[in-house]
């Protein structure tokens, strides 16, 4: 009864509640967005006897990234371009990462350091690593 009465006079008590809910949701969305993350973010892909790693490294020249492989770890090392403009520049936003980085990623198996392919395009690094021949699973014949 109360609701229909209010509806007639054109007041929606839920309107304000919805507005507040929206506002709270927006603020909470901002909170989760500020969670810290390792740099660079990586994705890992597994195929048959090989593993591929992709990493987002925007603004870094391909020759500035150092890749090292050891047993089952891959290390990415490098430095983001320094952004020292002249003294008089004024910053309005400073969101892009800067400084040097080093990150070691553990791979699901040992990889052959001789068989590594790395590509770099549009700020995305792609590294393809292969399992050494000796480590590959072998099918065993059962004698009858």
Partner 1 sequence: MAQELKTTDRQVISKPDAGERTRSRPVFVPRADIYETQDNVVLLVDMPGVASDGVDITLEKRTLAIRGYAADQQHENYRQVYAEYSAGDYERVLTLSEDIDRDGIEASQKNGVLRLVLPKAAPAKARKIQLKMA
Q: What is the dihedral of CA 40, 102, 129, 54, to 10 degrees?
A: 10
Q: Give the one residue of 67, 101, 110, 132 binding partner 1; rule: CB under 8 A.
A: 101
SS3 87: coil
Does 85 interact with partner 1 (rule: CB under 8 A)? yes
Q: Which residues contact 17 (CB under 8 A, 6 or more apart)?
A: none
Q: How far is the CB of 4 from partner 1 (least distance, A)?
A: 32
Tokens representing 16? 């304000």
Residue 69 contacts residue 105 (beta carbons within 8 Å): no
The position carrying tokens 């509806």 is 7
Q: Give the one residue of 117, 123, 135, 136 binding partner 1; rule: CB under 8 A.
A: 123
- Residues 34-63 interacting with partner 1 (rule: CB under 8 A): 34-39, 41-48, 52, 54, 56-62
- Smaller CB separation from partner 1, 10 or 47: 47
Positions that interact with partner 1 (CB under 8 A):
29-30, 32-39, 41-48, 52, 54, 56-62, 77, 80, 83, 85-86, 88-97, 99-102, 108, 121-124
């Amino acid at each position: 009864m109360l609701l229909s009465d209010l509806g007639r006079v054109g007041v929606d008590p839920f309107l304000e509640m919805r507005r507040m809910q929206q506002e709270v949701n927006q603020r909470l969305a901002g909170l989760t967005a500020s969670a810290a993350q390792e740099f660079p973010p990586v994705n890992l892909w597994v195929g048959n006897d090989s593993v591929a790693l992709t990493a987002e490294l925007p603004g870094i020249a391909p020759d500035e990234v150092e890749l090292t492989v050891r047993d089952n770890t891959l290390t990415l090392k490098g430095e983001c371009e320094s952004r020292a403009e002249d003294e008089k520049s004024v910053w309005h936003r400073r969101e892009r990462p800067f400084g040097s980085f080093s990150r070691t990623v553990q791979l699901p198996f040992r990889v052959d350091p001789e068989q590594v392919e790395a590509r770099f395009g549009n700020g995305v690094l792609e590294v393809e690593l292969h399992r050494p021949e000796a480590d590959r699973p072998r099918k065993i014949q059962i004698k009858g």
